Chain A
């Protein structure tokens, strides 16, 4: 599904991302962990063609993401509030995003019905623009809009941060069920080791842009990670 090749990016002489070779297969759920400055977000930004790598490339379905747009057809992402059009109401935003994928207003309405539970009555018909919502609720809008695009590849940057516990649990089960039903490939970065080990089947540990560890999760993973980070 994804291939990172000799991907390098540095700012002011400091290497932020340096990934030699990394392959991600369809249906995998990848957890990206690492302290601040490890290069998680920069890596995501290069994957989404928002930052030009100094060298190397990211291939999505064997096509370089920087040279064509096909990846946009099956990739959905939410990194931060910069992805939201914050002067719209959530309904308008969903309609707009849906329209980009040729969903009618009615389609979007149907889709949103499934998420009533996820939204917990906080999002729809509240008479507010997105910018007036709390950060957690903005997150919900962003994640729901990403899922609405029926992606094959989902990229989320710290999705659990700012979410309430109920929604965290719902999000985890959502990702798991989409993986089972649609073979969804997911990339998640998180500081919450519990969630990551719970939902992901493969963990990639970054430090200063380098991949330090790359392994499949088992019952000992959480302990290993905790040991690593408490050093």
Chain B
């Protein structure tokens, strides 16, 4: 029976509607995974060397021991966001003559086929065998491997169980991330050390190898809890949505914009009430950290804005880019409804501009904390901001009129390739190249501030031309709308 299920899944993948797209996307995803796996293998085999380099003078095994639980703590946090529940696929089987146990087993086994379960094996097992094995003997090494495997299984089913119990519960996700962050912070400031705790446990495993069975017991425990819960609650409505009372909301702030504001409010509700769009918004805030990686003191010192431009554009424009790349497709389920109703397409396009402007403004204001690094970054952000609201919005909306792919917005955003077509790939090019080209001559002539001014001026001019763009986009939209509507109907 299980093999039948698996073969159905296989067919489901190969026969899915946007097959070509999903294969290409999966290939790319495959490359990413291979890349991470390669890193994991590298880290695994050269662990000793890496630890010696990063923590010179410390005992290698102590550092390794401390790292184990720390890793699985973060693993838990990432899984809560990224790991998908394998549920909906079972709907067609529930009413058939198939034992519940079989279905539950299928769900349990299917969930093991996850990238998150593979990664830690490569990171931890080589060291456990090579270093621990040679230091403490085969039994200890075996128990280490067993502990790691058990922790993987434990995390896997714990996340599934928690997710099943509180599906769609945003606060739950935030609280897990919060707990992990707090623990990491406590560890960082040496208040409560996760690493010491982890080390303590694994030191004891080296002394009494069978202590490692605790992890196995925990894993078996959560597995049984999860299976029992599943078996008792194998109802799709309970597995897929937890209903709390929904209320009507109103955004008085947007009302001042009249019809355009109404449409913007409509879209704001769309963003807040769907998993995928919420994910995009969260991503936008996460990108605020982008500057921490890319803004380097010496570059700022030497006014090398060309190298910083990329990060600044992405940070201030991320909302435009991540939300805008699927523009119109967000509304694919009710696109027909929008077309037949008395909605002026001009207002429709204007509402998009309004949302983009508001979101970009919020992000730019938040990003101004980089001003503490250098006032120059504020100038950089201002230029990028003007470009983003002036012209990036136009690019995004222009490409949107050529996007005919229906989007399933009820699924989470991370590693979700549904609805991705050529437009999303090309979109980034003009977005990033135009400001770079504007800046380049000034950069070469060593007039960096003039370069920023040029970008800002370009942004400002395009912003002032907004009515012209709106008319242009409306015309294009008028022409394309049949095709868009047809594509969205599938």
Contact = CB atoms under 8 A, between A and B. Distances in A.
A50 B246 CA distance: 32
A73 B342 CA distance: 7
Interface string B313-356: 00000000000000000000111110111111000000000000
Interface string B237-271: 00001010111110000000001001000100110
A223 interface: no
Given A85-B337, A87-B270, A96-B266, A132 B342 contact: no
B489 interface: yes
Nearest to B258: A99
Interface residues of B, number: 29
Given A52-B482, A89-B247, A132-B243, A83 B340 contact: yes
Interface in A75-115: 75, 77, 79-89, 91-92, 95-97, 99-101
Contacts of A149: 342
Judged by DSSP, the binding face of A is loop
A199 interface: no
A96 B251 CA distance: 13
A72 interface: yes
B334 A84 contact: yes
A83 B270 contact: no
Contacts of A213: none
Contacts of A129: 246, 273
Contact of A89 (B243, B246, B336): B246
A51 interface: yes
A132 B343 CA distance: 26
Given A83-B336, A87-B273, A96-B262, A101 B342 contact: yes
Given A50-B485, A72-B341, A101-B342, A82 B335 contact: yes
B345 to A, nearest CB: 9
A61 interface: no
Nearest to A92: B248
B485 A85 contact: no
B486 interface: yes
A214 to B, nearest CB: 25
Contacts of B274: 87
B337 A127 contact: no
A80 to B, nearest CB: 8
Contacts of B337: 82-85
A49 interface: yes
Contacts of A88: 266, 269
Contacts of B241: 132
Contacts of B246: 89, 127-129, 132
Contact of B341 (A87, A89, A97, A132): A97
A196 interface: no
A50 B339 contact: yes
Interface in A60-77: 69, 72-73, 75, 77
Interface in B410-429: none
Contacts of A82: 333-337, 489
A7 interface: no
A-B pairs, 5 with minimum CB distance: A127-B245, A83-B337, A52-B482, A82-B336, A72-B342
Given A49-B339, A49-B340, A72-B340, 20 more contacts: A48-B340, A50-B340, A50-B482, A51-B486, A52-B482, A69-B344, A85-B266, A85-B334, A85-B337, A86-B334, A87-B274, A89-B248, A92-B249, A95-B248, A96-B262, A97-B341, A100-B342, A127-B245, A128-B243, A128-B246
17 contacts: A48-B339, A48-B340, A49-B339, A51-B482, A51-B485, A51-B486, A69-B342, A72-B341, A73-B342, A77-B340, A83-B337, A85-B266, A87-B269, A88-B269, A99-B259, A100-B259, A129-B273
Interface of B: 241, 243, 245-249, 259, 262, 266, 269-270, 273-274, 333-337, 339-344, 482, 485-486, 489
Interface of A: 48-52, 69, 72-73, 75, 77, 79-89, 91-92, 95-97, 99-101, 127-129, 132, 149
